[in-house]
Structure 1
C-alpha cells in the first residue's frame, strides 16, 4: 500500500475491521474509515485504491490540511525567479495532491501537515527514542529529536523535558500502540532530503 505522503497507513492509521462498501467505487473491500474526513461532503468508507487514484479530487472532501503558507515561502526561497502566480500554482497542486490522496492521520489536536524542502513531508511513524535513534545517521537520536521540531512548535515546547520524560523509549509499532499514549509525537521525513520533522500533541 503506497502513498506519497504517508508510509504504511495500514499500520499507522488502520483499515476498518471487515469488508465495507467503498463510497466511491461501490465495491466491497477493506477500506479506510472516512467519517473523520473534512469538508462539506460526508462519506463513511473509501478503499485505498480510490483514495490513491484521486477519486476525491472533484469532491468537497479533504483528509487533512496542508501548511500551504509555509510551503509557498519555501518554494519562493528555492525558486526566486518564479512569479507569485507560478509559486501559487505549484503550491496549490501539491496541496490538492496531499489533501485529496493521503490517508487520514488520526491526531489529538488539529494542525497543518508539515512541509520541508519545497514539498509536503511523508508521515513515517510515531516518535520514540528507538525511532529517532534509528533515523540518526550524523548525530544522536536525542539531537535529531531536538532539532526536528516544526518551526511553529519550537518556541512553545520544552524539548528537553519532552525527550527525558514524555517521549516513549520503545517503538510505537502501530495505531493500537498509539492509542495507549496520552501524548504523541508524529514523525515526518522530507521527500527531498534526510530532514526529519516532528509535531506533537496531547489528548
Structure 2
C-alpha cells in the first residue's frame, strides 16, 4: 500500500476517534471533552509531521483544518484550508471556508471549574446510561439557580422538557430524574413509551422513560435501540457531524429508510444541525455502533 494512503487512513482513524469522543459538533462553541483532547493533539502532531514532508498534499491540509475547527482554533483552521484550496481549488473547500470565516472572531473558551451558589448542585451529577452527557446536549440548563418542582430544593443544573405529565412542570433537578421521584410524583415520563424501538426488557423501558432526561425533536421524539438495549443519545447532528463516522454505523441505510426514506446519497443535501431536517445521533451501549434518527420541521 502507498505510504501516503496508509498515513491518511491512520490519521483519519485517530481523528474519527477524537470526534466521536469530543461530545461536541462541528461549529458548536464549546471545547472538546477531556478524553478527546489528547486524540486531537495526536492527530495534529502526526499531520504537522507529514506536512513537513508533503507540504503540497491538500488532503493533509484539509484534515488539519478539521482538527483546528473542532478545537476552536478557527484562524489556524482557515489558514490550513486556504493552503488546501491553493493546491486543489475545490468548491467544497471554498464553501467550508466561508463557514469558517463566519466563526473566525469567536473566542476560544478557557477550561474552568464550574462554581455554584446552590448546595444541592455541588453534588456529583448522576450518570444516565441512555443520555450520558445531558449538559453537553443541552438537556440540562445551567444558566441560573431554580427550584426543582419535585424536591423543592435549589439547583443550578436543571431540566425543562420534554416531560409528559398532567401537571405543568417548569424545572426538575437531575437527582429527582435519576432516582425516579419526578416520574412517580407527577405520574409522568420523559419519553413516550410508544415511540421507542422494541426491547425485550420492561426494566430497561422504565429506566428510559422514567429515569432518563429526554431530547427535543422537531416532531415526536423517537428512541432507537440496538443489541436488545436502548441506545445512548449522543446529540443533535447534521451531515458534517456524521460524515466522519459513516463506517461506524450499524446500518445507516435502514435507519434512513425507517425515519422517512431519504437515501444516503441525498442525505448531505438535507441533513443539517439546526436545519429543517434535524438529525439525532444514538450509540449502542453494548457494541458502540451508531444509529441515526431524523425528522423535519
Same fold (TM > 0.5): yes
Contact 2:161–2:216 (CA under 8 A) maintained in structure 1: no
Quote how far apart the aligned CAs of 1:27 are. 1.0
Contact 1:67–1:114 (CA under 8 A) maintained in structure 2: no
Greater relative contact order (CA < 8 Å, ≥ 6 in sequence): 1
Q: 2:206 aligns with which of 93, 96, 111?
A: 96
Deviations 1:34-91 (A, max 9, x none): 354113333211111221222134231111124587424xx3xxxxxxxxxxxxxx2x
Quote how far apart the aligned CAs of 1:131 are. 3.3
Q: 1:9 aligns with which of 131, 134, 152?
A: 134
Contact 1:132–1:144 (CA under 8 A) maintained in structure 2: no
Quote how far apart the aligned CAs of 1:111 are. 3.6
Q: Which has the larger radius of gyration?
A: 2
Q: 1:116 aligns with which of 219, 222, 226?
A: 226
For structure 1, the residue ranges without an aligned partner over 5 or more in a row are 76-89, 169-177
Match in the other structure for 1:167:
271
Deviations 1:97-147 (A, max 9, x none): 1011111201100043111111111001222344334435xx3x7x87843
Structure 1 residues 69 and 123, CA, compared in 2 at 3 Å: closer, same or farther? closer
| Higher percent of residues as helix | 2
Structure 1 residues 165 and 147, CA, compared in 2 at 3 Å: closer, same or farther? same
Structure 1 residues 150 and 125, CA, compared in 2 at 3 Å: closer, same or farther? same
Match in the other structure for 2:16:
none
Total equivalences in the alignment: 170
- 2:144 paired with 1:18: yes
Q: Give the TM-score normalised by structure 2.
A: 0.50
Quote how far apart the aligned CAs of 1:16 are. 5.3
SS for the counterpart of 1:187 is strand
Q: Give the TM-score normalised by structure 1.
A: 0.70
- 2:188 paired with 1:61: yes
| Higher percent of residues as strand | 1
Contact 2:144–2:156 (CA under 8 A) maintained in structure 1: yes
Match in the other structure for 2:290:
196
SS for the counterpart of 1:3 is coil
Contact 1:67–1:113 (CA under 8 A) maintained in structure 2: no
